[in-house]
Amino acid sequence: MYGIAEGEDEPFDMSLLQGKNETVYLGNEEISIMRGVEIGLLSMKKNETSKFIISPQYALGRKGCPPRIPAGNYTTLTFDV
């Protein structure tokens, strides 16, 4: 995954750029991912690539992702998956 916040030049999640495969468990409350990412992933087929533009209410909301995305900052996120 490659995630970048609206208005930023540098990504906050670079696993795709680093050549890493990332494993996530959908529907698992203990190991949660952003709701918008989960909805997008559930719509994908195996080996498909996609770009998700996720509104703040389906992304980080007010908690942010300090230091790149400050708390209280409602930011739209874009992910290349």
Q: pTM for the whole thing? A: 0.73
Query: What is the pLDDT, as a whole number, of residue 53?
Result: 93
What pairing do the DSSP bridges indicate for beta strands 51-54 and 77-80?
antiparallel
Q: Kindly list the structural domains of the chain, giving each domain's residue range(s) and its CATH number in brackets, ordered by start.
A: 1-81 (3.10.50.40)
pLDDT in tens, 14-43: 565 566 666 777 877 766 678 898 899 899
Query: What is the pLDDT, as a whole number, of residue 11?
Result: 77
Tokens (6 digits) for 17: 């750029």
Query: What is the pLDDT, as a whole number, of residue 40?
Result: 92
